[in-house]
Amino acid sequence: MKAAVLLAVCRSEEKGTRKRPVASGLIREGFGLVDDAHADTATHRQVSLLAQESIEKMRQMGLEVGPGDFAENLTTSGIDLPGLPVGTRLRVGGDVLLEVTQIGKECHTRCAIFQQVGTCVMPLEGVFARVIRGGRVRPGDAIEVSR
């Protein structure tokens, strides 16, 4: 099994839009990704994650999609995100510690991707987490799982 790695850090200024990859991001404890519209102290969904393997499923349906297109903050590789139990902790890079709080989500608006192909991976395979310990993350950072 290959090592789990962070492929992309993505953010957007508005909710309901695709996020754009950035060179690095500051994740704040109890808040989320700084300068991202979804970061909030009042939610258990402070950071969203989606595996590149999930994005690849949509690419195989003919969509040209990549990191951030599903509005995820962190795009990963080498880890079965939807298979993680709630409560699993993820260490990203040297400092950041996340705790999985939710697997999947209800899709109220049926995003553009759903409209195009009749399905979307985020409602089933997207993962949400709260920030236990913050720090800076960048593509290439290792991800370690602890239960």
CATH of the domain at 128: 2.40.33.20
How many domains, the chain? 1
Q: Is the separation of the CB atoms in 44 and 128 below 8 Å?
A: yes
Average pLDDT over all residues of the chain:
87
- Tell me whether residue 129 is in a domain: yes
- Tell me whether residue 116 is in a domain: yes
Condensed to tens digits (0 to 9), the pLDDT of residues 19-40 reads 899 999 999 999 999 999 989 9
Tell me the percentage of the chain whose pLDDT exceeds 70: 85
Query: What amino acid is encoded at 147 in this protein?
Result: R
Domain coverage including residue 109: 19-139
- Convert 38-57 to b/e letters by CB count within 10 Å (16 or more is b): bbeeeeebbbbbbbbbbbee
- Tell me whether residue 7 is in a domain: no
Q: What is the pLDDT of residue 32?
A: 97
Supply φ then ψ for residue 54, to 5 degrees. Answer: -70, -40
CA atoms within 13 A on the CB side of 118: 1
Condensed to tens digits (0 to 9), the pLDDT of residues 57-98 reads 878 877 788 898 888 999 999 999 999 999 999 999 989 999
CB atoms within 10 A of CB 144: 13
- Tell me whether residue 78 is in a domain: yes
Q: What is the pLDDT of residue 119?
A: 52
- DSSP code of residue 142: B
